Amino acid sequence: MAAILERDDSLELNQWNASVHKGIVELHGPMPGGIAPQHSATIKTFGAHITSYICRGEERLFMSPNAILDGTKPIRGGVPIVFPQFSQPDPKMAQHGFARTSTWKVIDLGHEDDVAYVILSLTSNAETMAIWPHAFQLIYTVRLSAESLETTLEIKNPGDSIFECHALLHTYIKQDISNICIKGFKGYSYLDKVCGGSLGTEEREFVTVHEGEVDRIYIVNPEQEPINALSILDSDGAKPRMLIKMDCMTSDHENGHHAVPLDCVLWNAGPARSAAIPDLGEGQYVHYVCIEPGRVSNYTKVEAGASFTIYNSLTPALPTVPLIRQLS
Ligand code: TA6
């Protein structure tokens, strides 16, 4: 395992790089002459929480201006990791579990040609055992390139008995929700948490989230293709803003590796709930949509020695060049 270095002032400014200092991992692209990088990501070891993703100089993740960043509460915005429970089926455990409020270890970081990466890990310990009595290891890899931010969360069972869990990447994407729609949910069933968990089927090709609170778990029926790609588009459905890819693999001794479908949660607090969530705040709902791939509609059973892996990537669309500039 690579030794983890504190910030190194001799870093090559012309290459991709990764560093960690006082619990904050910085991934970034080249900074010729020391200028701010065009591409960067910031990950806190508290929660292995991605708090910023900048692509071509623009922030792509929403962070609440009221987010609490002192480690006393989950961070509102960025990419919280939900594990081992989604919502609060076990009322004795915190909503969305403890991964987002645990301090993770950086086990590797570095760069390849055009990528900066970090790998963090959270392993069961006396504190987690007191809340959830299972041996587990989570391995979270974050890879930044000029095109995208890729995340992979592996949930491993190193113990000698089965456990069952939820896991999800609760991604807050920065967008003006009055101007966007999401393509890729049509035909899938969903559990509507706003309507008491009722079951519906998405009829819309272009799903909007600006009409009020939206809190749905889209689920894949056995005869359907998994949800592997969604796009955020301008509200007329013409211009792409971001491509989101996702998939899930399980791995065990008996069956080897095989793909399993992910659920995808779509959440926007809407005006009333936004105002009622103190670390979000009145009016903040207009600045984000949460698109959250995970395994949450049912528990995933993980046998001793087995694992499953959730992959997610965010690829902001290239800006369309105005015609006048193309011609000049
Ligand atoms: O993922 C959607 C959701 O479960 C919503 O129901 C909403 O409560 C949101 O997550 C935020 O949860 P949090 O515990 O971070 O306040």
pLDDT digits (tens, 9 = 90+) for 269-297: 999 999 999 999 999 999 999 999 999 99
- Residue 10 pLDDT > 90, yes or no? no
Distance, in Å, from the CA atom of 42 to the CA atom of 51, rounded to the nearest integer, reads 6
Task: Give the pLDDT of residue 169.
Answer: 98
Among protein residues, the one with the nearest Cα to ligand 1's atom 4 is 87
Instruction: Identify the band that residue 324 occupies on the pLDDT scale cut at 50, 70 and 90.
Output: low
d(Cα 191, Cα 229) in Å, to the nearest integer? Answer: 20
Q: What is the DSSP letter of 83?
A: B
Gap between the Cα atoms of 1 and 54, Å rounded? 29
Q: Which residues line ligand 1 (CB under 6 A)?
A: 74, 87, 95-96, 170, 193, 215, 265, 267, 290, 292
**pLDDT attached to residue 69:** 96
Q: Is the pLDDT of residue 312 over 90?
A: yes
Rounded Cα distance between 287 and 293, Å, is 20
Mutate which of 267, 280, 295 for ligand 1? The one with the most ligand atoms within 8 Å of its CB, which is 267
Task: With a cut of 60, say whether residue 19 has pLDDT above it.
Answer: yes
Cα(120)–Cα(221) distance, rounded to whole angstroms? 33
Say how far apart CA 266 and CA 288 lie, in whole Å.
11
Q: Which atom of ligand 1 is nearest to the CA of 267?
A: 2
pLDDT value of residue 1: 40
Residue 47 CA to ligand 1 center (angstroms) comes to 16
Residue type, 107: I
Q: What is the pLDDT of residue 35?
A: 87
Tell me which of 238 and 102 has the higher pLDDT. Answer: 102
